[in-house]
């Protein structure tokens, strides 16, 4: 039975396998009750049963296709109405590996729908309640391709860049309202993601592939250390800090009345 006092309920999307299933395990052991969301009911039920036995927490499995409007609305409604929810892990996502010219636009469209639209709608469903209750946490699973989109299909990279930029803006808007945001940028992680994306994991050099257990344990250690952006593989956190300060350093010069001098646009004579 559980020995940890409850930390409230964590709703985890994409909890039926890979990174999401490990988050479920680790968060239950940390004292969260869980709502597990994915399409595969059998897998969710098996995980819920295993974790209930192991941790004594209350664990509910909710089968939903987040690309289906009615299913997504059901999960949004849970986030809007269940005041026990203190943590949302936006983890469900799919990848794509083919270059643009070989890509299938309909599957890329559904990638955007899951990785971007569903994540956005779930965040919008959860955030007002967190603010009203004076606290809550959102963990968004992005990817290293958010800052290195040349590595895989560009639509996938673009979707994960959205998750990073959206998280930066959420932090900016919600930090002083008691809502904590963490965005996690995994590198290659040994999950079914690669089969779904069409590249067997065995095609990647072993030295760049992390286990999902190490990935989640690293991400949660980053969370415990108060990080906003966590890149579990990155050896030197100061590298990210430099990258980020170069980005924020541009801000005062990103909007001016006139084009920069190097463009040689002559001032127009007054009419
Ligand atoms: P995974 O094992 O394939 O997990 C993906 C999860 O999303 C599964 O639980 C899947 O469950 C769920 N899912 C897929 N489509 C869904 C839909 N339409 N509605 C609801 N749930 C859906 O892969 P993973 O590596 O753990 O991926 C988790 C996250 O990590 C993703 O956002 C991915 O982009 C990100 N990531 C992965 C890697 C990597 O190398 N593995 C690297 C960087 C970032 P069902 O099939 O049961 O629905």
Q: What is the pLDDT of residues 215-233, one digit of tens each?
A: 999 999 999 999 999 999 9
Beta carbons within 8 Å of 168's beta carbon, 6+ residues apart: 183
Strand 59-63's sheet: what is its strand order? 59-63, 33-38, 9-13, 85-90, 136-141, 179-184, 229-230
Q: What is the pLDDT of residues 244-255, one digit of tens each?
A: 999 999 999 999
- Is residue 261 over pLDDT 70? yes
Secondary structure class of 269 (helix, strand, coil): coil
Residue 156 bears catalytic tag: yes
**What is the Cα–Cα distance from 4 to 58, expressed in whole angstroms?**
12
More confident residue, 195 or 122: 122
**What is the Cα–Cα distance from 32 to 139, expressed in whole angstroms?**
14
Active-site position among 32, 124, 156, 263: 156
The pair of three-digit structure tokens given for residue 193, joined into one six-digit string: 């993601």
- Say what the pTM is: 0.97
Beta carbons within 8 Å of 39's beta carbon, 6+ residues apart: 16, 63, 64, 65
Q: What is the pLDDT of residues 55-91, one digit of tens each?
A: 999 999 999 999 999 999 999 999 999 999 999 999 9
In the predicted model, what is the mean pLDDT of the chain? 95
Ligand 1, pocket residues at CB < 6 Å:
14-20, 38-40, 43, 65-67, 91-95, 114, 141, 143, 186, 188-189, 191-193, 196
Delineate the domains of the chain, giving CATH numbers in brackets: 9-263 (3.40.50.720)
Q: What is the pLDDT of residue 86?
A: 98
Q: What is the pLDDT of residue 270?
A: 66
Q: Please tell me the residue having the least CA distance from ligand 1 atom 8.
A: 14
- Is residue 197 over pLDDT 90? no
């Amino acid at each position: 039975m559980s020995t940890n006092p409850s930390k409230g309920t964590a709703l985890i999307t994409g909890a039926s396998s890979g990174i999401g299933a490990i988050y479920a395990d680790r968060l239950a052991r940390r004292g969260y009750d869980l709502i597990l969301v994915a399409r595969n009911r059998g897998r969710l039920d098996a995980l819920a049963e295993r974790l209930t036995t192991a941790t004594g927490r209350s664990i509910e499995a909710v089968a939903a296709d987040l690309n289906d409007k009615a299913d997504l609305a059901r999960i949004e409604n849970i986030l809007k109405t269940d005041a026990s929810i203190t943590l949302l892990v936006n983890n469900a996502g799919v990848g794509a590996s083919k270059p643009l010219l070989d890509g299938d636009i309909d599957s890329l469209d559904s990638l955007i729908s899951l990785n971007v639209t569903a994540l956005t709608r779930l965040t919008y469903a959860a955030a007002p309640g967190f603010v009203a209750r004076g606290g809550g946490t959102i963990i968004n699973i992005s990817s290293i391709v958010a800052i290195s989109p040349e590595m895989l299909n560009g639509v996938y990279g673009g979707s994960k860049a959205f998750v990073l930029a959206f998280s930066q803006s959420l932090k900016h808007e919600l930090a002083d309202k008691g809502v904590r945001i963490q965005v996690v940028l995994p590198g290659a992680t040994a999950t079914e993601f690669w089969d779904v994306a069409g590249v067997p994991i065995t095609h990647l050099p072993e030295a760049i592939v992390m286990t999902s257990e190490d990935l989640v344990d690293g991400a949660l250690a980053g969370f415990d250390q108060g990080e906003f952006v966590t890149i579990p593989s990155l050896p030197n956190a100061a590298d990210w800090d430099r990258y980020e300060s170069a980005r924020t350093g541009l801000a005062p010069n990103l909007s001016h009345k006139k084009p920069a001098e190097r463009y040689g646009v002559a001032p127009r004579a007054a009419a």
